Structure 1
């Protein structure tokens, strides 16, 4: 009789135990904030309620790799059930700090080149996640639809961010066959972005930006230069169109977070991260800003407008 009573009580305690999920981002800006919201909403919609059966802890590294390393150590010491790393530097810091606690990366372009996973297959390690890699061929098509006579593309980026250097190399390789040159303008710090952008004036037909966290976190300063110089600004982060890019074709970072959240839930329910292959975000969208187009001297065709999932007119 005693054993029969103890078993159901033990099972109930196990099912109702509080889970602990820690989340860290390399910096706070709209795209990464949307990733975090997506993760949290996915958890909530699946019954993991912060303050009830879920302990949720978040910290931003404020753009500092040193902070990211310190946060990783703090999180690992607190022994969460899962840690989510938003952005490559934060994910790398986590992977370097623990080989046992499940780590889910997201907003990382290439986890293999970033040395987070050995391949795109199941890693058999404690790391898996969701990439925000985009088809650069499609990005180039959008640029050409907005400005068909492109000969030179300016690329403002942070040389210390591996996602951005990967994309730069891929763009250089792809554009060579189209006889389009790319001029790179490095900006090591956010304060360097206006100078980097100004250096492109008179040299390029458009400026293209990726989801470089350094650039995105100070996007308004880049938009100001683009408007003043009449340089069309094209982005790969949909939120950047809200902030002044003419067009942005990219991941829905909220949906990217929801996708990562699904993996977190699988792990909380007993699966091992090493048995789950890394995924690529599966929701993209094109956002057009007609007001930005006017400011940057571009007339948008009906074709590109009809392709947009969202058009911003003010």
Structure 2
């Protein structure tokens, strides 16, 4: 925002609210934003759907959305309409690439577990896509949904001896519990693939997905346009142009995986 001419404390005030994956808190924040008549709201994940359902007068920019058209957030990518626009990561379109990377890293892969937030429609859409694509390629696939933090450990228990690897569908709930998830995965000797490198830094095996800082830069450009008078419904939804592939070499060693050099040559970031 500074690069776009905005300076916090001068011509811009930014306030932060953290819902920690709880929809009830998002609803509370929505009511507060309406009372205070803020100029624009920037958010991501499940909060986008909740805010869209409750706020019609304040512009909303989503910095991350799985599939905003299919998820009902916008009419189309080119013409969002209404009071909302943002950046789509088109997460379902990346499923095939992640499954390909898992197969390359784990040639003996036969059974895939899929972990997703059951309380949020868009991650479950991705989980369904993962399951159908995995089964079409000859894998057994089991989808496990969690509603809250307390459901995560039992979910892993249900996967014991039933999966050779785990596909983790990211959202706010899953991100808030990434350390727990990777700890349980390592304890169960489950290789994991996730959507961005924070999971890999926490101990996950691999991640493949958009460059998230770049997504938020795109969102900042949209905020700038809105603050200068453009209606959000007139700002096309953007899609990522940069993608990153990361591997945690220490985790690979702990799992007893020997990754081919040809495979490692495609990695953007190797964490040791």
TM range (shorter): over 0.9
**Post-superposition offset of 1:229:** 2.1
Identify the match of residue 144 of structure 1 among 73, 98, 103: 103
Q: How does 1:65-214 map to 2 (within 5 A)?
A: 65-87=23-45, 89-134=46-91, 135-214=94-173
Q: C-alpha separation between the residues in 1 aligned to 2:241 and 2:63?
A: 13
TM-score normalised by structure 2 residue count: 0.94
Question: Secondary structure at 1:195's aligned position in 2?
Answer: helix
1:301 aligns with 2:260: yes
**Is the contact between residue 236 and residue 249 of structure 1 (CA under 8 Å) also seen in structure 2?**
yes
**Is the contact between residue 206 and residue 232 of structure 1 (CA under 8 Å) also seen in structure 2?**
yes
Question: Secondary structure at 1:54's aligned position in 2?
Answer: coil
Q: C-alpha separation between the residues in 2 aligned to 1:93 and 1:177?
A: 34
Aligned length in residues: 270
Taking only aligned residues, the RMSD between alpha carbons, in angstroms, comes to: 1.5
**Is the contact between residue 238 and residue 251 of structure 1 (CA under 8 Å) also seen in structure 2?**
no
**Post-superposition offset of 1:295:** 1.5
1:220 aligns with 2:179: yes
Q: Aligned residue for 1:283?
A: 242
Describe the superposition over 1:67-105 as per-residue Cα deviations: whole angstroms up to 9, x where unpaired. Answer: 101101111221222111222x21122222222221111
TM-score normalised by structure 1 residue count: 0.82
Describe the superposition over 1:108-152 as per-residue Cα deviations: whole angstroms up to 9, x where unpaired. Answer: 101123322123231221111111223211111111111123211
**Is the contact between residue 104 and residue 127 of structure 1 (CA under 8 Å) also seen in structure 2?**
yes
In structure 1, the gaps of 5 or more residues are 1-42
1:45 aligns with 2:3: yes
**Is the contact between residue 61 and residue 68 of structure 1 (CA under 8 Å) also seen in structure 2?**
yes
**Is the contact between residue 128 and residue 276 of structure 1 (CA under 8 Å) also seen in structure 2?**
yes
In structure 2, the gaps of 5 or more residues are none
Q: Aligned residue for 2:210?
A: 251
Q: Aligned residue for 1:237?
A: 196
Q: Aligned residue for 1:58?
A: 16
Q: Aligned residue for 2:230?
A: 271
Q: C-alpha separation between the residues in 2 aligned to 1:210 and 1:302?
A: 27
Change (3 A) 1:76 1:312: same
Q: C-alpha separation between the residues in 1 aligned to 2:154 and 2:50?
A: 30
Bigger-Rg structure (1/2): 1
Q: C-alpha separation between the residues in 1 aligned to 2:86 and 2:233?
A: 10
**Is the contact between residue 189 and residue 214 of structure 1 (CA under 8 Å) also seen in structure 2?**
yes
